[in-house]
Amino acid sequence: MKNVSSKVAEACVLSLSLLCLLPSCGTQIQMTEAVPAKVNLGRDTTMYINGNSDGDRGIAAAIRDKLAADGYYKLPGQGGSIRSAYMVISDTGVEIDKPTRIPLLSSTIDISNGNQNVYHRNYANALTNNEGSALRAVDTISRTVVHDISPHEKNLYVRVRGSKENPSVELGAKACAAGNWEQGEVYAKEALQQKPDDPEALFLMGVIERKKMNYAQSTAYFTKADTIKPSGKYKKAISKNKVMEQNDKYTMQQLAGE
C-alpha cells in the first residue's frame, strides 16, 4: 500500500509540475457591444399590444413591463407620439404545462406599423423546449421580442495572454479587466516599448482602441499582431471590428430617432 501511495503522490506532483509549465489561459476582459434593433419602428413610437387569450395577455403584460423599463418605445397613456405600432400575439391553443393545463402561450407575434407588416416570428420550438415552465416561456418570448425591436447592449469578452518576458501585458490586461482602462493603456504602451513586436501587447492595444471606438486604429493593431503571428484569434478580432463599427452606426441612428 505504501508503494501505491508513494506512486500516486509522485504522479500528483508530476501533474502539478506539468500544469505549471502550461501557458496561462490569459486574462479575460469584459466590454460591451451595441446591438441595433432588428425591427426599428422609430424611437418614441407608441406601441399598442393586443392579445386575446389569457396566455397572450400574460406575454403582453411581460412585454409592456420590459418596454417600460427600456424606455425606447412609449406605451399608451405615456404622452403623444408622431407614429404608432401594433403588436398582435397569436395563441396556438397547444398545451405546454400538462399538469396545470396552461396553453402554449404563443406561436407567433406580429408587429405592424400602418399597413406594413414588419415583424413575424415563430416561437413554437422555443416554447416546447420550455415545457413545464410557463413563466420561463413568457420571459423567453418577451425578452426576445424587446431585444429584437429595441437597440441594446450585450457583453463581449476577449482574452489576453501575458508572458514572463513582457509582464506589462498581463498587468495591462488585468487593469482593463478591473475597469481601469487608462492604467491598462499605460501598461500596454510600456509593453510595446519593451517588445514592439509582441503580438499580445499589440492585441491588448487593439482591444483598448476598440473600447474607445477607434476602430481603424484598433484594426491596425490586430492586423500587425496577425502579421507577426498569424492567429484565428486576431483574424476574428479584425472581422468583429467591422461588425461593431456598423452596429455602432446603426444603433446611434436609431437612438437619435433617424
| DSSP letter string, 15-58 | HHHHHHHSPP--EEEEEEEEE--SS---TTPEEEEEE-SHHHHH
What global pTM score does this model have?
A: 0.76
CATH architecture designation of domain 24-36+154-255: Alpha Horseshoe (1.25)
Grouping H, G, I as helix, E, B as strand and the rest as coil, residue 103 is strand
Mean pLDDT calculated for residue range 115-141: 66
Q: Tell whether the model's pLDDT for residue 41 goes beyond 70.
A: yes
pLDDT digits (tens, 9 = 90+) for 152-187: 999 999 999 999 999 999 999 999 999 999 999 999
Q: Taking the domains of the chain in order of start, what are their residue ranges?
A: 24-36+154-255, 46-150
pLDDT digits (tens, 9 = 90+) for 61-119: 999 999 999 889 999 988 767 788 888 887 655 444 444 444 444 557 888 876 667 77
